[in-house]
Amino acid sequence: MSAGTVKGSNAIHGPVPERILLVEDDPSILKGLELNLGLEGYDLRHACTGPDGVRVATEWRPDLILLDLMLPGIDGYEVCRQVRKAGLGCPIIILSARGAEADKVLGLEIGADDFVTKPFGLAELLARVKAQLRRTRQATPTGILRFGDVEVDGTAGEVRRAGKPVELTAKELKLLEFFTRREGRVVTRQMILDGVWGEEYFGTDRTVDNFITRLRQKLDSPDDPRYFQTVRGIGYKFRGDSR
């Protein structure tokens, strides 16, 4: 089944509306999402099978994907894997009637940013969509990023804490950039290894833990980390807005 396009008003989001891909095979849910997200001003496309979802995502490169799990062709987990393997870093929100903890953990481990259980409240879903898009807009690779007393000049590749220069190795700087691009998102150690060291690197979880310890020592508090937080049983999460 081919993908369709639904255009919304540009009044809310400016001349270039943010693009959302809906990968959903339930006609009633799809229609409701298209109607309400269209009213919010988003530029929408949809796909009703797993393979179509991968194809449209890689060709159109949306700003966010709403992804059902139970799809014809390949399931949502495999869609998520293939989209991430293709290099797309946009937020992915899984929508599923399967709300067991194991399902949610698996979704996060393979690269999803959020997991919403069906049936869901429309207001909550819209709030989650806006939150993910806001984080993406704020996580820019250049310019000045600040969290706490830390200032990162992405253009110059310089880091300062309380106004004093902090020496980071190239790998530490890349790890910091990896986290700041994914603020608020839970990432596994394997995702960090793939994103920072590359998929061909055969390191261990201990490699990641050691480097995060170094970042905590230089930019955080090793004993009570505020920004580079451990998520037990999964991995880590960067919270630049921590207070």
The domain locations on the chain are: 4-138, 144-238
* Of 24, 221, 151, the residue nearest 6 (C-alpha): 24
Reported CATH class of domain 144-238: mainly alpha
Work out the pLDDT band at 90, boundaries 50, 70, 90: confident
pLDDT, tens digit (0-9, with 9 covering 90-100), for 198-213: 766 666 788 899 899 9
Say whether pLDDT at 6 is over 50: no
Instruction: Identify the pLDDT of residue 202.
Output: 64
Say whether pLDDT at 13 is over 80: no
pTM of the model: 0.58
Determine the length of the chain. Answer: 243
Query: Residue 156 to residues 26, 31, 219: CA-CA distances in angstroms?
Result: 48, 47, 18
CA neighbours within 13 Å on the CB side: how many for 51? 4
* Of 186, 11, 231, 190, the residue nearest 91 (C-alpha): 186
Reported CATH class of domain 4-138: alpha beta
Do domains 4-138 and 144-238 share one topology? The answer is no
More confident residue, 69 or 180: 69
Element at 66 (helix H, strand E): strand 64-68
Instruction: Identify the pLDDT of residue 146.
Output: 86
